Amino acid sequence: MNEAIRAEQLTALLAGRITAGDFPSAVYLIAEGGSAVFADALGDAVREPVRHAATLDTIYDLASLTKPLVTGLLCARCIESGELQLDAPISVYLHEFARAGLSEITPRQLLTHTSGLAAWLPLYLLARDRRDNVLQVIAEQPLASAPGERVIYSDLGFITLGLLLERISGVSLSEIAAREIFRPLELQRTFFNPARSVRESLAACESAGNAYERELCRELQHESAAAAWRLDLIWGEVHDGNAYFLGGVAGHAGLFADARETLRLAEQFIATRTQLLHADTCALFRTNMTAMLNEARALAWQLAATPDSTAGPLLPRDAFGHLGFSGTSCWIDAARARVFILLTNRTHARPLPFANINSTRRAFHTLAVQALEQQSTLNSTGNIEHEAHEAHDG
């Protein structure tokens, strides 16, 4: 990939938000047809206890981008192989869900957040420190709504999908991801559980351990006194508490990558760019499977047609994207083979509450589309002038 140039307005937008204290660093990469058109790195990937400037090589905790980039992609491959049926009862794969009210949940509903499972629970408290209790704990919780009734964005649903993939394959999710995604794409800076040797290349996360989740547990009245909370800087290990409890590898969080390799993953969802899926499978990521519900959801992704999505007004309604709690995002305009990646570490070096950066994300996408269109116009003008010059010389 050729080194990209920065778009001045994008860089200025993000520099302003760094100055305002929304996040200490930002890396963006905007690509079209597989090539980076604009990219830049700003601020400090680590601000305390030492300072490391962010670069295009900085590796971020992608948080919930794990959901589509790993779990959604692996589920799509299993759909192609016939190992997973989108509309089969989930109890076919997970006996823990063979009970009234749960057995009718389907993989499609888990992938579109319409299963009715609750948004989040501290499984590290409820499972009593035993990973093998997690599915049982999830299955014992009351549903937040009837399956198929509404979109409720659910970490529990994608944790379930990650464990379902392990049940189907007989190996860990990290092994499946390495075999099916990381090695075939020759990714070198994408992984779960970063090795200590790459710590200096990582953006840091929350400075006071699990402060955010400790507060959330108090608000939800979950007993947390006995929890082995992390109290120090989270840097070099997954930020999300449930993913940390599950060994750093889960269906909803745990993936680390830099911007360039995030682009390689994102391209797998574009029919004209994918190496891992059949081209017609990519239609699943642009199809609204939740028509008439409160969000427009495709397979593992949110669609730009969702009211108030972070896509902004200039991305087409069938563009699809996802956010990560740590401050990351990825949106894809598959029709134009455009990918918009913004990586920040908004949870680092900032007291609670963390900044809501959704307005920044919308502005980023608007400026990015405008920059691409301007670049396209310049390229077209340049080609016309070049052709005219050749004709004159001829």
Q: Which of 277, 354, 364 is nearest to 63 (CA)?
A: 354
Could you report the per-residue pLDDT of 146-162, keeping only the tens digit for each? 999 999 999 999 999 99
Within a domain: 300:
yes
Band the pLDDT of 221: cuts 50, 70, 90. confident
Would you state the pLDDT for residue 133? 92
Q: With 0-12 CB in 10 A as exposed, 13-18 as middle and 19+ as buried, what is 266?
A: buried
For the cut 90, the answer to whether the pLDDT of residue 239 exceeds it is yes
Could you report the per-residue pLDDT of 123-135, keeping only the tens digit for each? 999 998 788 999 9
Within a domain: 75:
yes
368: helix, strand or coil: helix
Q: Which of 5, 16, 19 is nearest to 363 (CA)?
A: 16
* Structure-token pair, residue 33: 């047809």
Would you state the pLDDT for residue 174? 98
Number of domains in the chain: 1
Within a domain: 99:
yes
| Angstrom distance (rounded) from CA 139 to CA 128 | 15
Helix and strand numbers (H, E) in the chain are: 12, 10
* Mean pLDDT of the region 186-192: 98
Q: In CATH, what number is assigned to the domain containing residue 94?
A: 3.40.710.10
Would you state the pLDDT for residue 222? 82
* Structure-token pair, residue 356: 């809501």
Could you report the per-residue pLDDT of 266-288, keeping only the tens digit for each? 999 999 999 999 999 999 999 99
Within a domain: 391:
no
Angle at CA of residue 251, ends 223 and 91, nearest 5°? 90
Would you state the pLDDT for residue 2? 43
Residue 281's alpha-carbon distances to 12, 221, 381, in angstroms, are 38, 43, 36
Within a domain: 394:
no
206: helix, strand or coil: coil
Q: What strands, in cross-sheet order, belong to the sheet with 52-53? A: 52-53, 35-46, 25-32, 338-344, 328-333, 320-324, 302-303
Band the pLDDT of 196: cuts 50, 70, 90. very high
Would you state the pLDDT for residue 1? 40
| Angstrom distance (rounded) from CA 147 to CA 103 | 10
For the cut 80, the answer to whether the pLDDT of residue 255 exceeds it is yes
Within a domain: 354:
yes
Q: Which of 237, 258, 236 is nearest to 190 (CA)?
A: 258
333: helix, strand or coil: strand
Are 204 and 47 in contact by the 8 Å Cβ rule? The answer is yes
Rounded mean pLDDT of the chain? Answer: 94
Quote the domain boundaries for residue 116. 8-384
Within a domain: 393:
no
380 or 132, higher pLDDT: 132
| Angstrom distance (rounded) from CA 318 to CA 195 | 38
For the cut 90, the answer to whether the pLDDT of residue 139 exceeds it is yes
Within a domain: 3:
no
